[in-house]
């Protein structure tokens, strides 16, 4: 079945550090890929998405590239801020036997210190 694997957390960084959160997936066909962010006490917000191989999603300084050859969608940001502290979820939609269902990774907790 479909699955998403995210790097183990929590991740702790100093402000202005470079961020990478690894995400790899297993799915049949050509899934759509998403990064969602959840700030404390809130729901999930879509951060960025990519729908086909080599697409790059970007938003608020975050980027991720859909790499079909390595089945990866790693999230990067060049300079994190304290306000980026949140839980980040990688997710995919593959359809087929998972029709209508998003498959989420386990989430990565990011804490950024001043």
| Residue 38 CB, nearest approach to other proteins (Å) | 9
| Residue 79 CB, nearest approach to other proteins (Å) | 26
Q: Which is nearer to other proteins, 53 or 109 (CB)?
A: 109
Choose among 86, 95, 97, 92: nearest CA to 62.
86
Choose among 105, 8, 22: nearest CA to 70.
22
Residue 91 near residue 71 (C-beta atoms within 8 A): no
| Residue 10 CB, nearest approach to other proteins (Å) | 10
Q: Which two tokens stand for residue 42?
A: 């809130």
Residue 40 near residue 83 (C-beta atoms within 8 A): no
User: Which residues of the chain form contacts with other proteins (CB under 8 A)?
Assistant: 32, 34, 36, 42-46, 49, 51, 87, 89, 93, 95, 99-102, 104-107, 109
Q: Which is nearer to other proteins, 35 or 77 (CB)?
A: 35
Q: Which is nearer to other proteins, 43 or 114 (CB)?
A: 43
Distance of CA 13 to the CA centre of its chain: 17
| Residue 28 CB, nearest approach to other proteins (Å) | 14
């Amino acid at each position: 079945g479909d699955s998403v694997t995210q790097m183990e957390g929590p991740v702790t960084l100093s402000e202005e550090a470079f961020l990478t959160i690894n995400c790899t997936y297993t799915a049949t066909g050509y899934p759509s890929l998403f990064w969602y962010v959840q700030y404390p006490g809130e729901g999930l917000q879509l951060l960025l998405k990519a729908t086909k191989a080599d697409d790059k999603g970007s938003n608020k300084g975050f980027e991720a590239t859909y790499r079909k050859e390595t089945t990866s969608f790693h999230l990067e940001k060049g300079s994190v801020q304290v306000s980026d502290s949140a839980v980040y979820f990688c997710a995919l939609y593959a359809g087929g036997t998972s029709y209508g269902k998003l498959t989420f990774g386990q989430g990565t907790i990011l804490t950024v210190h001043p």
